[in-house]
Structure 1
Amino acid sequence: MKIRFDEAWSGALKIANDVAREFDTDVILMRDLLGRSSIVVNLLDSDPRILELRNRLQAACGPFTGQQPVLLVDTLFAPGQVLNSPDRHPVPRFMANSGRVSVVERGTVGADWLRPAEEPAGKRIALYGFKGGVGRSTATFILARHMARQGQSVLVVDLDLESPGVSSLLRSDLEYAEHGIVDYLVESAVENHADLDLVTKSDSIGDLHGNGEVWLASAGGRPRSGYSYLDKLNRAYFDLPATPDREAATFGRRLANAIAACEDQVAKLSRKPDVVLLDSRAGIHDVAAVAITQLSNLALLFATDNPQTWQGYQALFDQWRTKLDTPTTDRLRNRIKMVAAMIPSNNAEAYLHSFADNAQECFAMTLYDNEEGEVGLDSFNFAPNDKSAPHYPLTIPHSLDLVGLDPSRNTSWAGSDLIEAAYREFVEAVSVTLEEGA
């Protein structure tokens, strides 16, 4: 019988855990770009058990065995790059009960989902949807306007780099700043980012009757002859290696620097932003990973109630459950809140009941008590109807006013009574949540 990817990984984890116990040593399990596993262990190269360990791994992993199945710490070319890697994560005890196994993944995408940072200073909200078409960008616009009406200075950062949306809502004339987020990422890679023009005021937010304001940092710069957005986008997503003059910088750190530069520019032009809204792109993408795990105090996860959405969120949450330690997973869980978007007007109560049930089941299988009963300090199974729980949604009813919306032709769309009513509960709840977390 052939050994497939998932079976190979389960076998490698079991062997790594057994070795940690049998040899009384820490074990690192490395998985390369092709999914092939190798075990890094602190043994002498003369140890007779190495050959047996190599054979055990090959038998368990088949074609997913690393080219060098057993790597010895003393023989590694640069052991610090493995032992001290920021991508080295301890395996939770419910998966490896020795407590001495850690994992280093070498993947092309998704690493930033497993690089959580401490909460940033200030107030930052990420708006994310696993699937597109759930009204995330529209909600970002409405939320920015609501906060500005409260007298706040709001910076909106369009991080949907491959399909910008909120930028055109906030500047219906497309008169963005000269440069955008992709410009900063490209220019900063060669230390050429000083004096970039990155932010502009919204021209479509309406009369605020006070000192509230909304600023936009668009994905790309102002459309003009010779401006090649795609060429820059192709060079935006990567980690910077270390050089003699510069420390290494992950994509997440580079994106954080871009947002900090936008905040500083708003502060110079007006005043420091009171709140920053990050309109993230959909899907399992590194932009979304950084926005949720590194850049925000609160992550609003948009969803519609269907099996594909819940399967996607469960796969995402399961990465945290199985790759991060319990305190880190608890910290991430406490940052997020579900949003039930585009709620159908017919039978809305039944829809929300189903949404809450399915969301609670998704969280219970991943971010609440895990299946082996290992419970984090603040972790337990919330009831489906517990409104304080991360899974219980903020709500946005579906509005017919948004069907086929072209903001450049209908500049008064956001002021309609239907739009105001649809988003009232959502924006007020987000404001309260943000204040409670301050």
Structure 2
Amino acid sequence: MAENVRGAHFDESLTRLVAAVAQVAGNDRAECSVYHRDTTGRVSVVLSGLVNPEVVERIIEVAKAEVGGYLRDDYPVRTESDIGALRILNEGLTAPVVRVDEFKVRFIDRRVAGADWLVASGDRASGIPRVTFASIKGGVGRSTALAVVAAHLSRSGKRVIAIDLDLEAPGIGTMLVVAGATSDFGALDYLVDSGVQNPSLLRASDYIAGSFLGETGAAVSIMPAIGTSTLKSPENAIAKLSRVYIEASEEGDGKLYHERVRDLLDRLAESGQYDVILIDARAGLHESTAAAISVLRRRRTPVRKRPAPNIFGLHALAFSYVYLFGRHV
């Protein structure tokens, strides 16, 4: 490595690139350009407007010295006339505006995993209430809290459907379903099935079972993570998990995981059979947890001081949303 090139860390890479643009081309140019981080974590910038080639070369020189290995090798600094630059500039028109030191810049963050955390959950015009039970740490009583709320709503006359989106460690299906009445299929099956065919071909009733929680009140229905079909063919469980989070094929709905989750909830809400949807999410900051949170109209996050991992995870999640979408969680 050349002596004038310094090592960089992920957290500093974008800041150093913005500073390099500002140093050479000025603050205004730094703020009106679009910054991009690829799936490997390397950063680049597309400069807007007409820029002298000598300025571009100087920015690259400074950026290489400051950003180091986190600067893209190919086209680290582009102008409007370069290949692919206009596409990024157009995408930047709707990209989040993030604060980088004293600058506010347009930032596109490419991700292979964790892309669902980039989805902003906006207000929904209609639909029944949807409540997600999520936690950063497992074993804190998330599923138990859902069961208590479902029972209370049932006794209040509300028809409830609870969906287990903790696909890799299912819980409420075995906890709350009437013994011997587990559905043939579950949420895992629905999300995989809808990825390869039109969801309208799927009968929602095949994925839903009854719960004993509704025996003394309004009906409580459960969509377990898995059904009897997976229990009979356990060798298919991991095969389905390996496919559920990827983008659906063109033969299916062609949608990402969070979009298929949202469509499933919309379908249940529009059926007229339920008054409330409860969602049991996976613990941690997994892709599936993002989908379970992004389907909400509003987010409310109760925070406990201990254990410490909960606080770190909540801080990471909250600051990511504020950073990318400029809103409080």
* Secondary structure class of the residue paired with 1:259: helix
Residue in structure 2 matched with residue 404 of structure 1 by the alignment: none
Q: Does the aligned pair in 2 maintain the 1:240–1:249 contact within 8 Å?
A: yes
* C-alpha separation in 2, matches of 1:103 and 1:35: 13
Q: CA deviation at 1:10?
A: 2.6
2:121 to 113, 117, 122: 117
Question: Which of 69, 76, 84 pairs up with 1:77?
Answer: 84
Give structure 1 stretches of 5+ with no counterpart. 334-438
Question: Aligned match of 2:133 in 100, 106, 127?
Answer: 127
The alpha carbon displacement at 1:118 in A equals 1.3
Tell me what 1:321 maps to.
Answer: 322
Q: Distance in 1 between matches of 2:284 and 2:93?
A: 24
**1:32-81 Cα distance to aligned partner (Å, 9 max, x none):** 22211101112457632110111121111101111221123332337436
Distance 1:186-1:206 versus aligned 2 partners, 3 A rule: closer
Q: Which residues in structure 2 correspond to 1:189-228 (within 5 Å)?
A: 189-193=195-199, 194-196=201-203, 197-202=206-211, 204-205=212-213, 207-208=215-216, 210=217, 212-223=218-229, 224-226=231-233, 228=236
Root-mean-square deviation (CA, aligned residues, Å) is: 2.8
SS in 2 for 1:125: strand
Q: Which amino acid aligns with 1:290?
A: A
Using a 3 Å threshold, how does the CA distance of structure 1 residues 175 and 17 change in structure 2: closer, same or farther? farther
Secondary structure of residue in 2 paired with 1:91: strand
- Specify whether residues 177 and 13 from structure 1 end up closer, same or farther in structure 2 by C-alpha distance, changes over 3 A only: farther
Q: In the TM superposition, what whole-angstrom CA distance separates every residue of 1:207-240 from its partner, at most 9, and x where no partner exists?
A: 32x4x11111111222453362221111000234
2:42 and 2:21 mapped to 1: Cα distance? 14
Q: Is the 1:155–1:217 contact (alpha carbons within 8 Å) kept by the matching residues of 2?
A: yes
Aligned to 2:311: 310
For residues 79-94 of structure 1, the aligned pairs below 5 Å read 79-80=86-87, 83-84=90-91, 88-92=95-99
Q: Which has the higher contact order (CA 8 A, sep 6+)?
A: 2
Q: Secondary structure at the match of 2:289?
A: helix
Structure 1 counterpart SS, 2:192: helix
Take 1:108 and 1:86, find their aligned partners in 2: how far apart are those partners? 22
Q: 1:13 to 1:34 in 2, by over 3 A?
A: same
Q: Structure 2 length normalisation: TM-score?
A: 0.85
- SS state at 2:76 partner: strand
* Offset at residue 246 of structure 1 (A): 8.2
Q: Measure, in 2, the Cα distance between the counterparts of 1:139 and 1:165.
A: 12
* Alignment correspondent of 1:426: none
* Alignment check: 8 A CA contact 1:87 1:105 kept: no
- Establish whether residue 103 from structure 1 lines up as the match of residue 103 from structure 2: no
Quote the Cα distance in structure 2 between the aligned partners of 1:220 and 1:152: 25
Cα separation, 2, equivalents of 1:272 and 1:71 = 54
Aligned-partner Cα distance in 2 for 1:195–1:133: 33
2:69 to 63, 67, 71: 63
**Which shows bigger deviation, 9-18 or 316-325?**
9-18
Deviation sequence 1:154-179 (CA, Å, 0-9, x none)? 11011101111111111152632222
Q: How many angstroms does 1:206 deviate by?
A: 5.5
Other-structure match for 1:153: 159
The structure-2 alpha-carbon separation of the partners of 1:289 and 1:16, relative to structure 1 and needing over 3 Å to count, comes to farther
C-alpha deviation, 1:303, in angstroms: 4.7
Q: Name the % identity.
A: 26
Q: Deviations over 1:114-156 (max 9, x none)?
A: 2112133321111110010001001111110100100001110
| Structure 2 counterpart of 1:183 | 189
Say whether the 8 Å CA contact 2:41–2:70 is kept in structure 1.
yes
User: Which residue is equivalent to 1:23?
Assistant: 29
Letter of the aligned partner of 1:201 in structure 2?
A: G
Q: Kindly provide the amino acid, as one letter, of the partner of residue 199 in structure 1.
A: I
2:7 to 2, 15, 18: 2
Superposition map of 1:259-278 within 5 A: 259-264=265-270, 267=271, 271-278=272-279
Q: CA shift at 1:26, angstroms?
A: 1.7
- Offset at 1:254? 1.4
- After TM superposition, the structure 1 = structure 2 runs for residues 37-48 of structure 1, keeping only pairs within 5 Å, are 37-44=43-50, 47-48=53-54
Where has structure 1 moved over 6 Å in runs of 4 or more? none
Could you tell me how far apart the structure 2 residues matched to 1:3 and 1:247 are?
Answer: 41
**Rounded Cα–Cα distance in structure 1 between residues aligned with 2:28 and 2:298:** 42
Aligned residue type for 2:13: A
Relative to structure 1, the CA distance from residue 79 to residue 311 in structure 2 (aligned partners, 3 Å threshold; closer, same or farther) is same
